[in-house]
Structure 1
Amino acid sequence: MASFKDADPTLGFLIRKDADDMLPRPTRVKNKTPAPVQITAEQILREARECQEAEIRPPKQKITDPIELADYRL
């Protein structure tokens, strides 16, 4: 284990060598030309919202008499 003076305060208890081992290496971009069709972050978020399933909510029930209310409370 490394000594206290090797620790980096931004990394917590990790020393810089340990943190460098855990981080993925940046990849090089080979093709830097823009894509023929550009999409915006707004389009990505809109499509993500469309793909999400709606929240499942229980159906609204109208309780009409005390017997139903007692059953519902159980």
Structure 2
Amino acid sequence: APDPSTANDVMKSLTRWPVTVSYYDRDAKAKDGEQTPVYAMSFELFENGVSRALVLDYNDFVISGALGKFDVRDSKPCN
């Protein structure tokens, strides 16, 4: 099934970027060479701050999130 956020006309027109954030063991020895992350998360980030396609990779297992419903609401100005 298509992701509800990409079926929305407002969201289709927005720029989005792929984002990956990785976390490493701070206490790993430098002489150990190249490290793999302790865990990493990736997602698509829209210019309005909404994210989709979340994946959490813990090396031993991976969790992925799917958006089931998406409603765009009008925002109120901050005072």
- TM-score, with normalisation over the residues of structure 1? 0.20
Structure with more of its chain in helix, by fraction: 1
Structure with more of its chain in strand, by fraction: 2
